[in-house]
Amino acid sequence: MAPGVGRSISFPLSPASSSKPRAAACHARSISLPCRSHPLLAHLQSKIAAVHAWVADPTEPSSGLAHIDALHTALAELLLLPETQDAVRGATAASDRLLDAFLLLADAHRGFQETLLALKADVADVQVALRRRDAARLASAARSQRRNEKELARLAATVSPGAVFKCARLGLGGATAEETEMATALMEAAAASAAASAAVFWAAASIAAAASSSKKTAAFAAFAKKAAPETAEVAPEKMEELEQCIDECESDSEKVFRSIIRTRVSLLNIRTPAI
């Protein structure tokens, strides 16, 4: 959608104003509705609502990543508007906090990608250990996987909305109503992105923990030979679920990381325009 189209809607001030001379009418003939009427702002609000709906009832992590990416795509379009750029420049303290928040989110998603790669290596090691009945290798993979589960939990805590936006609404004093509205929309988008990111990391950690738990059953079955045959099948199933989760998240997490970086670069360019 072209960012310059349909930016505002104007209505006459009163029926009496239409009877004034044309010159006077041109001087003060209309008022502009708040910028919330802009379709790009409404589009962003719909993406924020979709993200919150997913966070309230999260499914697979890749679905959450898709919602985050869609939100940042809408945010990128909104940042092209002159009204949004004025809001960013007018609310300096708030935009500083936005820059910090998006940097934190980018770092967390980069860490998420690295942890996914480490978990992928753990899965491969577990499969080889079970196939070769290598207890030492299985134990090593189990320790590594537990460390990566803790790292996912740490990343989730790092990007929780409370941690990211303790004082994000400061810095709006003196701004116009339009600037305040746009700045608030940007902060809502960042907070939604943080909440969804935390939910994605927790969901991935939960899948990894389930695989780790079932792996103990597999080890018991493989090495002690005391588990029922159907019980031994639980581990491969859970490990396959983790492997599928990793495969689905790898490309999506890279897209989200790049979209967050683009958002932050856009904010920096608005704050420090080229001369």
- Here the tokens at position 232 are 């031994």
In whole angstroms, give the CA distance from residue 100 to residue 125.
38
Q: What is the pLDDT of residue 27?
A: 38
If the chain, 275 residues long, is cut into consecutive pieces of 10 residues, what is the mean pLDDT of each piece?
Answer: 40 39 40 55 94 94 96 95 86 84 94 95 86 83 89 92 55 64 86 95 91 58 46 60 90 94 94 69
E strand or H helix at 30: strand 30-32
DSSP code, position 18: G
Q: What is the pLDDT of residue 175?
A: 60
Q: What is the pLDDT of residue 97?
A: 86
Q: What is the pLDDT of residue 141?
A: 85
Any idea which residue has 């910028």 for tokens? 35
Dihedral of alpha carbons 176, 177, 178, 180, sign:
positive
pTM of the model: 0.77
Q: What is the pLDDT of residue 1?
A: 41
**Cβ burial, residue 261 (10 Å; 0-12/13-18/19+):** middle
In whole angstroms, give the CA distance from residue 153 to residue 134.
29
